[in-house]
Amino acid sequence: MEWESIIGLEVHVSLSTKSKLFSGTASEFGAEPNTQANIFDLAIPGTLPVFNNEALKMAVRFGLAIGAEISKRSVFDRKNYFYPDLPKGYQVTQLDFPTVGKGSLSIILEDGTEKIIGITRAHIEENAGKSLHEEFSGQSGIDLNRAGEPLLEIVSEPEINNAKEAVAYLKKLHSIVRYLEISDAIMAQGSMRCDVNVSIRPKGGTKLGTRTEIKNINSFRFVEKAINSEILRQREVIEDGGEIQQETRRYDANKDTTSSMRNKEVANDYRYFPEPDLLPVVIDDEFIAAIHSELPELPDAKKERFTLEFGLSNYDAGVLTSTREMAEYFEKVAKACGDSKLAANWVTGDLLAFLNKNDLEIENSPIQSERLAVLVSRIKDNTISGKIAKTVFETMIEDSATVDEIIERKGLKQVTDSSEIENLVDEVIAKNPDQVQQLKDGKEQVLGFLVGQAMKLSQGKANPGKVNKLLRDKTK
């Protein structure tokens, strides 16, 4: 039997405000456990929440970016459950009246087609603390530093059909959040994490299967692997005559399997009721318009501009606008060197390959945009060839000297003098009479061999365009 999967994602984004959601200063990642919790996080009797207005602005900012409905009246609720990292015994969240309603975003599939994924809602809530298991033999530790931090939970429609679509959706969401500067969205630090709901059904069916939820996945790669693992498990269970239980599961990256944590709760289990210590949040058109006026150029708009303004392919424009930092880096290189296509080739090629190999973000690149622009300019003005530029690029990674200093010191300047190149060509013609005759007889592919011989004689310094032209002229 053929199966199809139905996937929905719940993405938790830590909002980068200076304060917690209701009171106190935001915690710093990596701080000593329990050094940045406040009396509200600790549920000291008599404490009352004071709402963080910046979190509201960030939520509205996100909603506008995805074309979502913005609620002019939103209500906070108490979600009641017991867990050691939640001293209050409840989490403040939004149930029926979230700040952000229905919206959507588009993703590009592997075959290049576009797919629109619906977003059900995005609601504001407070973060819980963190349970620590690895450092305590037979016990668990509780760190409440992040308790009370503002989260935006973004819930997709169940319109994702496989793991690669889920990763494409998650990456697009990550990009938008970073462009908006509402979160650093560093998954390894937990400031963006994902719960995945997975169900399967016979291909062509209309009834949704029983879903399971995989909690707290913190990398794009693990999201893909966890989904594939869970789909395989569900298929095996059903094909063996079993039934899928609605439950919460965890993903073990070492074993590449999911395992049961607990039965999946439903809304009634949480005994939701309106938060009595917080009034409804009411905003107006003027508030929304003010936030809308401050929105930056978003990834899709920037991608379209790059194709029109710089003449880039959709693929290159997509790579270069994947993050705000990458787009800004490219624009600086392109404008400084005056050749956008050559700049795009170097940023998406040699630079990105180096960054990926060394697990670096572009903002941590050892080669600043100004230096790369000079390197591209030296190719453009024929000071060096594209091949020699790769040698210069490798030196630039470790050497802080200017591009011109590196070229001069290593004697890498391109030979452009016509008489000198003519001598090289004459020598190549003299040493390769058979190939010269083949070229004269119309065997065009031999030209590449002869150009290569001339480049070898010049140690890569001869201008290949001039070598090519002279060889053609002399072998007519």
Angle, vertex CA 176, rays to CA 173 and CA 182, nearest 5: 105
Q: Distance between CA 251 and CA 257 in Å, rounded?
A: 6
Q: What is the residue type of 366?
A: P
Q: Distance between CA atoms of 420 and 462, rounded to whole angstroms? A: 9
**Helix 299-310 and helix 163-180, axial crossing angle in degrees, nearest 10:** 90
Strand 247-252 relative to strand 212-217, pairing = parallel
Given a contact cutoff of 8 angstroms between Cβ atoms, the answer to whether 343 and 334 are in contact is: yes
Give the Å distances, CA to CA, from 180 to 15, 194, 219, 288, 410.
Answer: 11, 19, 20, 15, 44
Please tell me the number of Cα atoms within 13 Å of 23 on its side-chain side: 14
pLDDT by residue for the chain (476 residues), tens only, comes to: 899 999 999 999 999 998 999 888 888 888 999 999 989 888 899 888 889 999 999 999 999 999 999 999 999 999 998 888 999 999 999 999 999 999 999 999 988 899 999 999 999 999 999 888 777 778 889 999 999 999 999 999 999 999 999 999 999 999 999 999 999 999 989 899 999 999 999 998 888 899 999 999 999 999 999 999 999 999 999 999 999 999 999 999 999 999 998 886 666 788 999 999 999 999 999 999 999 999 999 999 999 999 999 999 999 999 999 999 999 999 999 999 999 999 999 999 999 999 999 999 999 999 999 999 999 999 998 888 888 899 999 999 999 999 999 998 988 887 666 676 777 777 778 888 888 778 777 788 878 888 788 777 777 777 777 777 777 777 77
Which residues, in sequence order, are bridge partners of residue 154? 11, 122
Distance of CA 83 to the CA centre of its chain: 32
Give the residue ranges of DSSP H helices in 358-385: 369-380
Rounded distance between C-alpha atoms, residue 333 and residue 346, angstroms:
10
* Domains defined for the chain, CATH in brackets: 3-289 (no CATH), 297-409 (no CATH), 418-474 (1.10.10.410)
Class of residue 13 by CB neighbours under 10 A (exposed 0-12, middle 13-18, buried 19+): buried
